Amino acid sequence: MPLVSINPATGVQTQRHREHTAGQIDSALAETHAAFLDWRHLPVNERARHLTALGTTLRRQKNTLARLITTEMGKPLSAARLEIEKCAACCDFYARHAARFLKPERPPGSPKNTEVVFEPLGVVLAIMPWNFPFWQLFRAAAPALMAGNTILLKHASNTSGCALAIERVFIKARVPAGLLRTLLVSSKQIPAIIKDPRVRGVTLTGSTAAGRKVGALAGAVLKPAVLELGGSDPYVILADADLDLAAEVCAEARLTNAGQSCIAAKRFIVVESVRATFEIKLTARMAARRIGDPTSKNTDYGPLARADLRDELHAQVHKSVKRGARVLLGGNLPENGKGFFYPATVLTGVRPGMPAYDEELFGPVAAIISAKDETDALRIANDTAYGLGAALFSRNRRRARALAREHIDAGMVFVNAQVRSDASLPFGGVKDSGLGRELGGFGIREFVNVKTLWIE
């Protein structure tokens, strides 16, 4: 079955790719494994030189790569350029800091003749999503490569063009052959690839359902897996919050990438005493954001990536309204026009039993949930199967820090700011949001053999 790319802004098919054959899959496995056998012995400073070359190549091709992202998944060109810049910066970060992260250690209290070293595992299978088609790969690949591993990429089928472009970036950067190979395969072929002895680890960014399947497959053959999964991030607005700041940050956090992000703001939990005012401010800011042609510099957010994703989101909105939620903005499918656009939507009166409360809304829909007080707001924030990111708004920064640290069950909590990733900090969640961490020093040690040496 061919892998098809459709321009989300027009609904027009742009590319068709044939799936790789069993022979092509084996060839890619052989090449990445052979490359690992040499790459693992290359000094870290030499690996760093190649990572820097990758970053340079990304910047040189930024406009071309950004246009491909926009064509395949609908991200505005301005945001797509920023995505490429972020990938390049991630390469630079690990080129500068990997040696320190991988430096041998002697743990406190251990015998003087011992040390712990960090050695690469081998080929890492990266199963990546469409929403940030370059960044998701590079944030996993940059630390894994600097640790001495190599990468086998299985991308989302609708961004196969981006997957092939990533492989070309490696070629144009003149890094050693085989450090990354792209596979054009369906999900049906993943189990056999994970079982192959040449694959030594798996990293996946995707849905919780996909994470459970991949985690089970990796666990069955005793291979480590990093699973970065879904989120239903709560943004908690306390009674003493700066409501103008909160509304502006919340609107941006809900509409970035048309809301198609695991760390997008999803649930807006507002203390009742300020709910009405916050609703007015958030709705106004959501309405002011411009939806349209992602190639236009005047566009704030573009279409959803696929027709089925829009249909699913609209069904969640419709069911929530049917069960008692009220629409303050949007909520209707465009009557005319091409592409997979969905308007900025604000729902209020959201309660348990509604999809807007219980499920992840992967699109530009804000769900406002009323809380009686601070204690109730924190309870609601944790009343979810997910635990990826969260944000809390309060003028009392010291108090907010204590609440964020001690009372919100998530992998990342931001105070008076939008949840986002940074190459220097660990990224990941708890509960149904996944296992393991990407980025920072923690990310580079996910796919290493932590080896104890004892020398007499």
Widest CA span in the chain: 77
Q: Which stretch of DSSP H or E encloses residue 181? A: strand 180-183
Distance CA 374, CA 379 (A): 9
Q: How far apart are the first and last CA of the chain?
A: 59
Go through 270-285 and write b for each residue having 16 or more CB atoms within 10 A of its CB, e for each that does not.
bbeebbeebbebbbeb
Distance CA 187, CA 209 (A): 13
Q: Taking the mean position of all CA atoms in its chain, how far away is CA 191? A: 22
Positive or negative, the Cα torsion across 122, 123, 126, 132?
positive
Q: Which of the residues 91, 162, 250, 262 is marked catalytic? A: 262
Distance CA 10, CA 339 (A): 4
Please check whether residue 427 is in contact with residue 437, taking contact to mean a CB–CB distance below 8 angstroms.
yes
DSSP lists the bridge partners of residue 370 as 270
Question: For the chain, what percentages of helix, strand and coil (3-state, to nearest 5) are there?
Answer: 45, 20, 35
Q: Which of the residues 72, 83, 228, 438 is marked catalytic? A: 228
DSSP 201: E
Distance CA 259, CA 196 (A): 36
State both tokens at 273: 């005493």
Please check whether residue 413 is in contact with residue 391, taking contact to mean a CB–CB distance below 8 angstroms.
yes
Distance CA 368, CA 163 (A): 37
Please say if 119 is a catalytic residue.
no
Please say if 72 is a catalytic residue.
no
The residues carrying an active-site annotation are 228, 262
